[in-house]
């Protein structure tokens, strides 16, 4: 794993179906993910390859919006979401793996610099570890939020 990758896992006391339903429920993401200020669908009412949305979060004290889109789906097993902004391409792979009666959700985030000049690459190296720590903290919170919602959903389904 390079410095521009983060991999975080969390075992959730819920079946893959409940985790998947929370993970792919864009319409309720604002109420599930405490770090998301706003989520605006840009097309489609479903979660399918090509679905696009704009997600707004507070990062380093400022609101920041990113346009994201789904590039791969293997229901209840894996989905891939991409974004591209500020000279970088971002890929997030969510993998769901059975873990006893529960599910392990793995969040693999990677960033690749594109079209950046030497000075921008230098700044990315200098401030990169700080940004990675903040991003890792955000990812852990997202996983906790998804786990809470999936476990509640699974409790209702039982």
Predicted confidence (pLDDT) per residue in 26-72, tens digit? 999 999 999 999 999 999 889 999 999 999 998 777 888 999 999 99
Pairing of strands 88-99, 36-41: unpaired
68 contacts 84 by C-beta, under 8 angstroms: no
100 contacts 89 by C-beta, under 8 angstroms: no
The average pLDDT across 124-139 equals 71
Model pTM?
0.86
| Strand spans (E) along the chain | 5-12, 36-41, 52-59, 62-74, 78-85, 88-99, 102-113
């Amino acid at each position: 794993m390079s410095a521009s990758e983060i991999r975080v896992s969390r075992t959730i006391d819920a079946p893959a179906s409940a985790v998947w339903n929370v993970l792919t429920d864009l319409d309720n993401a604002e109420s599930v993910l405490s770090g998301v200020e706003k989520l605006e669908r840009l097309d489609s009412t479903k979660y399918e390859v090509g679905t696009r949305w704009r997600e707004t979060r507070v990062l380093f004290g400022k609101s920041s919006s990113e346009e994201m889109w789904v590039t791969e789906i293997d229901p209840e097993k894996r989905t891939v979401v991409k974004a591209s902004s500020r000279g970088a391409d971002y890929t997030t792979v969510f993998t769901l793996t059975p873990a006893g009666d529960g599910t392990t959700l793995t969040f693999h985030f990677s960033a690749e610099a594109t079209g950046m000049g030497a000075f921008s690459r230098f700044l990315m190296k200098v401030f990169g570890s700080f940004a990675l720590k903040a991003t890792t903290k955000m990812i852990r919170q997202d996983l906790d939020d998804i786990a809470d919602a999936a476990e509640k959903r699974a409790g209702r389904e039982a």
